[in-house]
Each structure stands twice: as structure tokens, then as C-alpha cells.
């Protein structure tokens, strides 16, 4: 009995010694490993909420097992964050911003053609006077079959891809295969890209003896001046009423929409205001008497009428200055 008790105490003491030794050795091993390599478990705690995303990117750059493009990771993270805000917020990459700016400026490097999709080809419907395409020998009515090495016939090519193929650095060349009067030309036309300027007004003419028609494609830097000049010319031609076409106008600069709205009032009028959670209210007024302060106005809109186009049409409707005709706008 006495021997059994002593044996049990010895076994228990041995287990305790082994356990203590394991704890000490384990702690020492963990400290050595921690000093030799970074842990794979990292806290996302930071000095503030605004630092979390950047801290996460830093952790990936420093600790992730494979090489990754940090720019791509950042862009995709931003896209995801912005997509959760509302349907109208969009993240634009640098090349997309440049393309937008060129469009709104009305000046870019390209070949100077306007086209219309006709089945599986592009039909040239307009050209910039003395522009690169006209100098190279292209004509209105030509069908574009191929741009560079890209076949368009029987292919589904997006608008953005067509723009990418047509636009390019000033001085560079692009070969364009065309069909003219039903006959495919043997050799493609070589067009040297150059800086071209395009109007933001697609059309401006008298549609009836006393009625003018103006179609605005976008609200860019030059749009207000172009519209003002068109109104002056149309007035000289006897215009008393106006049809303003904003269909498929995706908008542009807000200040341009304000300038255009002011053209339809004889005196200073309150047009709109902006206000946000982090932005104080700002009121916008028409600046002076416009060139079309009287006469009936009809504004045409559709589901692609957006942004600044909606500001203009909304202001004219709310102030009983125009009748809106068409489909529900984008916003």
C-alpha cells in the first residue's frame, strides 16, 4: 500500500515536470520563430477607419505568398467599394478619365469621322472638314470593314473597342478597309491620326418656318458658346419656337447645364441647389437674360438622358418654361 502511494506520487510528479518543461520549451520556440519570421495572423486595427483599406493592401504586399499587382488589387477594391454606394457612382481608371476629358473638351487625337452601325459594319455619316479621314480620301457613305488588324464584319465589337482602334497618338497611322458603292476597295486607306475638334451639337437647323431644332450630344466646355451662337443664327432665320433634343445625352459639366438653362429666361431665376451630408447647400441661378427668353420650348428625352441633361430639362419643366416629351430619363 505504502509502495503504491509512493509510485503514484512519482508518476504524477514526472507528468508535471514534463508538462512544465514543454511549456517552457514551447514558449522559447515561439519567441524564436516570431523573431525570425513574420506571423501570418495580422490585426486590421489601425489608427482610424480610413486607414483600414490601405493597411490591408500593405499586408498583402508584404506578407502574401505570391506576387500580385498592387495597382490591380487597389483598383478592384475601390471598384467594389464604389459599387456599394448607389447605381450612379463609378470608379474611372486613369485612361478612362482621359477619354472622358477629351470627349468633354471636344478635342482629341483621332481620324475625324462620325459613323453609324449598319448591321455588322460601320457606315460613315460625317467627317470633320479637312480632318485626317477626309484628307486620306474617305467619303461619307463608305462602310468600314476593318480597322487595323481587327475585322468588323460578322463580329460583335463594342463602342469602346471601336474608339480604341480609331483613336491614337497624333502622327500615328491606321489602315482602314472600306466598301464604297457596294464594292470592296482593293487596298485599305491609310489615315494619319491628328488632333480633331468636334462640336457638341449634332444638329441645328430650321425644321419648320418658325420652329428650330437643336440636338445636343454632351455638355462640354464649349457647349454653352456653341448653343448660344446657334440660337443667334436660328433667330436670324426666323425661329420663334424650339425643339431641344437631349435624347441619348449622358450629361457632362453641371455649370454648362446651368449656362444653357439661363438662355431660356428673361431675368435671373433660381434653377437648382446641391446639398449633401458633407456639403453645405449651394444655390444656382441663371446669370443674365438669355437669347431665347420667349417662345415655346419642347425638350425631347429618353432613358439615356442623364446627369446634366436631367438638370437642364428638370429646371425648364419645374419653372414652366418647357414641355418634356419622351420616356423616363436615366436618373
**Does the structural domain 110-196 have CATH classification 2.30.42.10?**
yes
Q: What is the pLDDT of residues 188-199, one digit of tens each?
A: 999 999 998 888
Three-state DSSP class for residue 315: helix
Give 26-47 pLDDT, tens digit per residue.
Answer: 555 555 555 554 444 555 555 5
Collapsing DSSP to helix, strand or coil, 309 comes out as helix
Q: Is 295 helix (H, G, I), strand (E, B) or coil?
A: coil
Could you report the per-residue pLDDT of 145-194, keeping only the tens digit for each?
999 999 988 888 888 888 889 988 999 999 999 999 999 999 999 999 99
What is the C-alpha R_g of the chain? Answer: 33
With contact defined as beta carbons under 8 Å apart, do 262 and 312 qualify? no
Per residue in 225-259, pLDDT tens? 999 999 999 999 999 999 999 999 999 999 999 99
Q: Which three cell numbers stand for residue 289?
A: 437674360
Q: 138-163 as b/e, with b when 16 or more CB fall inside 10 Å?
A: beeebbbbbbeeeebeeeebeeeebe
Kindly state the cell numbers that stand for 181. 458603292
Tell me the CATH number of domain 201-326, given options 3.90.226.10, 1.10.1330.10, 3.40.50.410, 1.10.357.10: 3.90.226.10
pTM above 0.85, yes or no: no
Query: Structural domain boundaries of the chain?
Result: 1-36, 38-91, 110-196, 201-326
SS3 of the chain: helix, strand, coil, percent, to 5: 35, 25, 35
Provide the percentage of residues in the chain whose pLDDT is more than 70. Answer: 85
Beta-bridged to residue 109, according to DSSP, are 195
Amino acid at each position: 500500500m505504502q509502495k503504491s502511494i509512493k509510485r503514484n506520487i512519482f508518476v504524477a510528479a514526472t507528468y508535471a515536470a514534463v508538462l512544465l518543461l514543454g511549456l517552457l520549451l514551447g514558449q522559447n520556440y515561439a519567441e524564436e520563430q516570431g523573431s525570425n519570421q513574420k506571423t501570418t495572423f495580422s490585426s486590421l486595427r489601425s489608427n482610424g477607419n480610413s486607414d483600414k483599406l490601405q493597411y490591408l493592401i500593405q499586408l498583402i504586399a508584404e506578407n502574401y505568398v505570391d506576387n500580385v499587382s498592387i495597382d490591380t488589387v487597389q483598383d478592384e477594391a475601390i471598384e467594389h467599394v464604389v459599387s456599394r454606394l448607389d447605381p450612379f457612382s463609378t470608379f474611372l481608371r486613369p485612361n478612362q478619365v482621359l477619354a472622358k476629358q477629351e470627349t468633354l473638351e471636344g478635342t482629341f487625337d483621332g481620324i475625324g469621322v462620325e459613323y453609324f452601325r449598319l448591321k455588322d459594319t460601320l457606315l460613315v455619316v460625317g467627317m470633320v472638314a479637312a480632318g485626317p479621314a477626309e484628307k486620306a480620301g474617305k467619303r461619307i457613305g463608305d462602310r468600314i470593314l476593318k480597322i487595323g488588324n481587327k475585322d468588323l464584319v460578322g463580329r460583335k465589337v463594342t463602342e469602346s473597342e471601336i474608339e480604341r482602334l480609331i483613336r491614337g497618338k497624333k502622327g500615328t497611322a491606321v489602315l482602314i478597309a472600306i466598301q464604297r458603292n457596294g464594292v470592296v476597295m482593293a487596298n485599305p486607306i491609310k489615315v494619319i491620326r491628328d488632333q480633331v475638334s468636334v462640336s457638341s451639337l449634332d444638329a441645328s437647323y430650321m425644321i419648320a418656318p418658325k420652329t428650330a431644332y437643336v440636338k445636343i450630344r454632351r455638355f462640354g466646355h464649349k457647349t454653352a458658346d456653341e448653343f448660344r451662337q446657334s440660337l443667334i443664327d436660328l433667330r436670324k432665320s426666323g425661329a420663334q419656337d424650339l425643339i431641344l433634343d437631349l435624347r441619348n445625352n449622358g450629361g457632362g459639366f453641371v455649370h454648362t447645364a446651368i449656362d444653357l438653362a439661363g438662355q431660356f429666361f428673361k431675368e435671373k431665376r433660381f434653377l437648382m441647389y446641391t446639398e449633401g451630408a458633407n456639403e453645405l447647400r449651394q444655390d444656382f441661378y441663371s446669370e443674365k437674360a438669355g437669347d431665347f427668353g420667349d417662345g415655346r420650348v419642347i425638350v425631347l428625352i429618353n432613358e439615356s438622358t442623364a446627369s446634366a441633361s436631367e438638370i437642364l430639362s428638370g429646371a425648364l419643366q419645374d419653372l414652366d418654361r418647357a414641355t418634356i416629351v419622351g420616356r423616363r430619363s436615366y436618373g
